[in-house]
């Protein structure tokens, strides 16, 4: 395998994970209003907290699904069979939706854990903050579209895409959050 192939696999990893990356930032933009836990607490601590709202969740999942469908349109003229890794349509639309939904479900699980640990909304939680969405997206994909996930991220040289996403995601996450913080969209730079 030469360098071009490796770079292509790294790029492919990010291309395929874009519907899972976008919902996080989109949730910040759409967020507000009714909290998903409806303000309810468990053992004196909020179930999820005010940082998880219905608007953020639905807006985020929609944004991730939309970007994925746009990606399918971009890929179609070049690769009408495999849609550059998303696989044939209509199954690819399910793939894209699962990635977007999984990423924000991962975010909810992470918020649930943070609240149980006594961390307030926005408090730092290393690993959880950086990996919740990518882990959620990948686990839900493994559950609902396993053949696609294994083909795209596990089988043979495709594991390079997985490693690239796992290594670069925390750096990307930090970068995007610093931008969000400077623009006044996020309260904290993480
Ligand atoms: N957001 C939202 N709904 C979601 C996810 C995020 O409204 N389902 C918005 C909230 O305004 C949130 C912001 O996006 O404050 C940043 O998201 P995130 O960093 O995931 O939440 P935190 O504020 O850090 O809260 P937590 O500690 O619960 O993760
Ligand atoms: Mg946070």
pLDDT of the residue at 48 = 98
Given ligand 1 and candidates 25, 28, 39, 179, which is best to mutate, with the most ligand atoms within 8 Å of its CB?
28
Q: Of 19, 25, 22, 14, which Cα lies nearest the Cα of 163?
A: 14
The mean pLDDT value for 165-176 works out to: 94
Our answer on whether the CB atom of 115 is closer than 6 Å to any ligand 1 atom is: no
Domain map (residue ranges) of the chain: 19-148
pLDDT score of 1 more than 90: no
Q: What angle do CA 165, 168, 170 make, to 5 degrees?
A: 110
Ligand 1 atom closest to Cα of 177? 19
In this prediction, residue 91 has a pLDDT band, given cuts at 50, 70 and 90, of: very high
């Amino acid at each position: 395998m030469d360098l071009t192939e490796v770079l292509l696999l790294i790029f492919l990893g990010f291309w395929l994970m874009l519907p899972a990356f976008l919902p996080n930032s989109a949730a910040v933009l759409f967020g507000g209003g009714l909290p998903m836990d409806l303000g309810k607490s468990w053992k004196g601590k909020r179930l999820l907290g005010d940082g998880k709202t219905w608007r953020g969740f639905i807006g985020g999942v929609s944004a991730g699904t939309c970007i994925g469908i746009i990606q399918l349109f971009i890929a179609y003229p070049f690769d009408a069979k495999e849609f550059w890794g998303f696989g044939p349509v209509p199954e690819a639309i399910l793939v894209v939706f699962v990635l977007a939904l999984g990423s924000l479900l991962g975010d909810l699980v992470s918020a649930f854990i943070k609240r149980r640990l006594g961390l307030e909304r926005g408090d730092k939680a290393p690993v959880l903050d950086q990996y919740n969405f990518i882990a959620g997206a990948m686990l839900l994909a493994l559950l609902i579209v396993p053949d696609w996930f294994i083909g795209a991220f596990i089988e043979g040289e495709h594991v390079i895409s997985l490693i690239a996403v796992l290594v670069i995601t925390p750096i990307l996450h930090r970068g995007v959050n610093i931008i969000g913080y400077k623009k006044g969209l996020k309260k904290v730079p993480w």
